[in-house]
Amino acid sequence: MRHIAFAGFLLLAAAAGTAQTGHWQPQPIAGATEPSEVVAHSAASDWRPIAPENLLVMDLADGGRIAIELAPEFAPVHVANIRRLAHAGWWQGASVYRVQDNYVAQWGQNDGGGTRPEGVVEHPPAEYERPTAGLSIHPLGYPDSYAAQAGFVDGWPVGTDPARGSAWLAHCYGAVGVGRDLAPDTGMGGELYAVIGQAPRHLDRNIAVVGRVIEGMPALSARPRGTGDLGFYQVDRGETPVPIRSIRLAADMPAAERPSYEVMRTDSEAFARYVTGRANRGGTFFNVPAGGVDLCNVNVPVRRRAAP
Amino acid sequence: MRHIAFAGFLLLAAAAGTAQTGHWQPQPIAGATEPSEVVAHSAASDWRPIAPENLLVMDLADGGRIAIELAPEFAPVHVANIRRLAHAGWWQGASVYRVQDNYVAQWGQNDGGGTRPEGVVEHPPAEYERPTAGLSIHPLGYPDSYAAQAGFVDGWPVGTDPARGSAWLAHCYGAVGVGRDLAPDTGMGGELYAVIGQAPRHLDRNIAVVGRVIEGMPALSARPRGTGDLGFYQVDRGETPVPIRSIRLAADMPAAERPSYEVMRTDSEAFARYVTGRANRGGTFFNVPAGGVDLCNVNVPVRRRAAP
A264 has a pLDDT exceeding 70: yes
Q: Which residues pair with A137 in a beta bridge?
A: A153
**Which of the pair, A286 or B19, is modelled with greater confidence?**
A286
Write the CB contacts of A134 (distance below 8 Å, at least 6 apart in sequence): none
Residues A41 and A134 in one domain: no
Residue A224 vs residue B10, higher pLDDT: A224
B197 CB within 8 Å of a chain A CB:
yes
The beta-carbon neighbor of A102 closest among B217, B224, B279 is: B217
CA distance A148 to chain B (A): 5
CB atoms < 10 A from the CB of A205, how many?
Answer: 24
C-alpha–C-alpha distance, residues A113 and A184, integer Å: 22
User: Cβ of B146 and A292 within 8 Å?
Assistant: yes
B120 and B243 together in one domain: yes
CB–CB of B21 and A25 under 8 A? no
- Identify any residues that bridge with A17 across adjacent strands, giving them in sequence order: none
CA A116 to centroid of chain Cα atoms? 27
With an 8 Å Cβ cutoff, are B145 and A145 in contact? yes
- Could you tell me if A285 lies within 8 Å of chain B, comparing CB atoms? yes
CA–CA distances in Å: residue B166 to residues A52, B91, B159, B300: 50, 33, 8, 21
- Residue A11: which pLDDT band, with cuts at 50, 70 and 90? very low
Number of domains, chain B: 2
Same domain, A57 and A99: yes
Q: Are strands B175-178 and A261-264 parallel, antiparallel or unpaired?
A: unpaired
Confidence of residue A66 (pLDDT cuts 50, 70, 90): very high
Nearest CB neighbour to A288, from listed B205, B285, B293: B205
In the stretch 48-107 of chain A, residues with CB closer than 8 A to chain B read: 99, 101-102
Say whether both B104 and B232 belong to one domain.
yes
Based on the fold, state whether residues B272 and B293 are members of the same structural domain.
Answer: yes
Of the candidates B297, B248, B190, the one whose C-alpha atom is nearest the C-alpha of residue A295 is B297
Please give the pLDDT value at position A2.
30
Q: Rounded to an integer, what distance in angstroms lies between the CA atom of residue B107 and that of residue A294?
A: 27
Q: What percent of chain A has pLDDT over 90?
A: 88
Q: In this predicted structure, which of A3-12, A125-134, B112-121 has the lowest mean pLDDT?
A: A3-12
The answer to whether the CB atoms of B297 and A200 lie below 8 A apart is yes
Residues in a beta bridge with B160: B149, B167
The count of other CB atoms within 10 Å of the CB of residue A299 is 16
Q: Give the count of beta carbons closer than 10 Å to the beta carbon of residue B143.
A: 25
Distance from CA of B88 to the nearest CA of A (A): 30
Tell me what pLDDT residue B112 has: 67
Could you tell me what percent of chain A has a pLDDT over 70?
A: 91
Q: How much is the pLDDT for B18?
A: 41
Would the pLDDT of A175 be above 80? Answer: yes
Q: Looking at beta carbons, which residues of chain A come within 8 Å of B290?
A: 146, 201-202, 204-205
CA separation for the pair B32, A235 (Å, rounded): 36
> Does the distance separating the beta carbons of A146 and B144 come in below 8 Å?
no
Alpha helix positions (H), chain A:
2-17, 35-40, 76-87, 218-221, 269-279
What is the C-alpha to C-alpha distance for residues A1 and B300, in angstroms, rounded to an integer? Answer: 48
Put simply, the answer to whether A146 touches B222 (Cβ < 8 Å) is: no
**Residue A95 sits in the same domain as residue A38:** no
Gyration radius from chain A CA atoms: 20
Looking at the structure, do residues A103 and A250 belong to the same domain, yes or no? yes
The pLDDT averaged over each successive group of 10 residues in chain B (308 residues) is 32 38 83 97 98 98 98 98 96 96 95 82 97 96 97 98 97 98 93 98 98 98 98 96 97 96 98 98 94 98 84
pLDDT at A114 over 80: no
Same domain, B294 and B145: no
CB contact under 8 A, B225 and A223: no
Write the residue in A146, A183, A200 that is nearest to B285 by C-beta. Answer: A183
Q: What is the pLDDT of residue B307?
A: 61
Instruction: Answer yes or no: do A198 and B197 touch at CB < 8 A.
Output: yes
Q: Do B198 and A297 touch (CB under 8 A)?
A: yes
- CATH number, residue B153: 2.40.100.10
Instruction: Tell me: do B92 and B178 sit in the same domain.
Output: yes
**In a shared domain, residues B137 and B271:** no
User: CA B40, B46, B50 angle in degrees (round to 5)?
Assistant: 105
Is the distance from CB of A91 to CB of A110 less than 8 angstroms? Answer: no
pLDDT at residue A19 is higher than 70: no
Average pLDDT for chain A: 92
Q: Work out the average pLDDT over A252-274.
A: 97
Kindly list the residues from chain A whose CB atom is less than 8 angstroms away from the CB atom of residue B168: none
pLDDT at A5: 32
Residues B73 and B205 in one domain: yes
In a 3-state reduction of DSSP, which class is residue A82? helix
Residue B297 near residue B85 (C-beta atoms within 8 A)? no
Q: Report the half-sphere exposure of B167 (CA within 13 A, side-chain side).
A: 21
Report how far apart, in Å, the C-alpha atoms of A85 and of each of A51, A91, A191, A207, B13 are. Answer: 18, 7, 11, 19, 45
Sheet with A261-264, strands from edge to edge, namely A47-49, A261-264, A302-304
- Those residues whose C-beta lies under 8 Å from the C-beta of residue A164, and which sit 6 or more positions away, are none
Cβ separation of B286 and A183 shorter than 8 Å?
yes
Expressed in percent and rounded to 5, the helix, strand and coil fractions of chain B are 25, 25, 50
Are residues A71 and A154 both part of a single domain?
A: yes
Evaluate if residue A105 carries a pLDDT over 70: yes
Its domain, for residue A252, covers 51-259
CB atoms under 10 Å from CB of A21, counted, come to 8
- What's the number of CA atoms in the CB half-sphere (13 Å) around residue A60? 21
Q: What are phi and psi of B5, to 5 degrees?
A: -60, -40
